[in-house]
Amino acid sequence: MMCVSAMRGAGDTVTPIIINLVGVFVMGIGVIYLLVMVGDLGLSGLWYGTAIDFTGRRIVGYIL
């Protein structure tokens, strides 16, 4: 979150928006759906998917 907030503070607002939109819709909803419905993990799949979503966003924010 700090890397993305630093980008916003430096004036780059487009990159954080893209990171968050892709993170929420692709990583968040997509991975959670796969883990819960296809993987049949239930509530555990929801938490695993959330962790994967946050971790993916952190890595992309750090790289950029």
- Percent of the chain, pLDDT > 70? 98
Displacement of CA 17 from its chain's centroid (Å)? 12
Q: What is the pLDDT of residue 60?
A: 86
Q: What is the pLDDT of residue 6?
A: 82
Domain with 24 in it: 2-6+13-63
The reported pLDDT for the residue numbered 46 is 92
Return d(Cα 56, Cα 46) in angstroms, integer: 15
pLDDT at 56 over 80: yes
- At 51, which amino acid appears? A
Residues 42-59: what's their mean pLDDT?
Answer: 90
Q: What pLDDT is attached to residue 38?
A: 92
Residue type, 57: R
∠ CA(53), CA(55), CA(60), 5° rounding?
95
Number of domains comprising the chain: 1
